[in-house]
Amino acid sequence: MGMSKHNPDMTSEKPWHHLPDGTFRNPKGSPKKKVPLGVALPYFAEMFTRSFSKTDVPTSHVLPRAIAKARLKKHLRSEGDFATWLGHASFLLRIAGKIILTDPYLTSYAGPGGFGPKRYVKSGIAIRDLPPIDILAISHNHYDHLDERALKLLPGKETMTVVAPLKLGDFFRKRGFLHVIDMDWYDELLVNDLRITALPVVHWSRRVGFDYNTSLWAGFAFKGPDHNLLFGGDSGYGPVFKEIGERVGPFDTALLGIGAYAPREMMRASHATPEEAVQMGRDLGARRIVGMHWGTVVLTQEPPFEPPERFLAAGREAGYDEANTWIMQIGETRALATGWPSNT
């Protein structure tokens, strides 16, 4: 396993996203975060009301766990890269023979101590049924991406490698993970045939109230001999995606957030709309786009099952065929085959 830094912005001066006080900011040209009181108050009131209401989930949205487990086992026995959607931004991936787990929000609440929004569907695969993890990739420290209760239950802390944005690594070291690497944007890590690159995205960080942007946020590229996959983390849309496409792309597959976008005044600098996610895919040079960060927990005002409809429509409008615009079932595993198109 080797580590290299390939960021040409790293000169004697700190790069743009490093502020003098040690905190971080978004890439140049990113949308600004604006939260008018007239927008924020109704938003918080609605979110409070929704926390007591039930979300109607279509039966087709979730694969029964027994079936999901059996299909995952089948892929594990075979060769080749694959992706399993566990819900929200959590995927189980195999790239270059390495098992990767992204943003494992796998328990009930997106908040501390059993508080916060509660997911309305279970994780696609139970933690006890996950295969041994080689790489744990964390995009940032928000509770719907960094689930401390899930981490406690996750075996293999002595053997897996954690990749986390700058200043987030100590969170894992304090919890018994032995191999933790803090990565700045465009840092690279080589694990056998798997090249991991931390990437800039448009977001922010905060965990305990007064630690605003004290740790970095990121997406990741996972490149093996047969596949180059982007995990988009949590991001609004900005010109940085063209930069990523030029520097690290093109990508075979891009996992992109399509939910948690309303109201736009509040969410523009944090989460993309489905249409913006499709544009991200175009900017990245992605041959296949996969919608994530939806259908798991209510965080914002849009109808819970609106994002996939808009994503598929925008994909068609942008020239993506149906076979390469993926809306997966929670628990579903699909091969990331080199032949095109592939959705088996």
The pLDDT of residue 3 is 58
The pLDDT of residue 338 is 60
Superfamily of domain 61-335: Ribonuclease Z/Hydroxyacylglutathione hydrolase-like (3.60.15.10)
Helices and strands (DSSP H and E) totals, the chain: 8, 15
Return the domain boundaries, the chain.
61-335
Amino acid occupying residue 261: Y
Strand partners of residue 222: 196, 229
**Which residue in the block uniquely carries the two structure tokens 């089948």?**
74
The pLDDT of residue 343 is 38
End-to-end CA distance of the chain: 32
The pLDDT of residue 1 is 67
The pLDDT of residue 334 is 98
Q: For residue 119, which of 57, 203, 67 has the smallest C-alpha distance?
A: 57
Q: For residue 130, which of 333, 281, 335 has the smallest C-alpha distance?
A: 333
**Which residue in the block uniquely carries the two structure tokens 């175009």?**
282
Single pTM value for the model = 0.94
Q: Give pLDDT tens digits along the chain (344 positions).
A: 665 554 444 445 889 999 999 999 999 999 998 888 888 888 888 888 877 788 999 999 999 999 999 999 999 999 999 999 999 999 999 999 999 999 999 999 999 988 889 999 999 999 999 999 999 999 999 999 999 999 999 999 999 999 999 999 999 999 999 999 999 999 999 999 999 999 999 999 999 888 999 999 999 999 999 999 999 999 999 999 999 999 999 999 999 999 999 999 999 999 999 999 999 999 999 999 999 999 999 999 999 999 999 999 999 999 999 999 999 999 999 999 765 443 33
Q: For residue 72, which of 45, 101, 43 has the smallest C-alpha distance?
A: 101
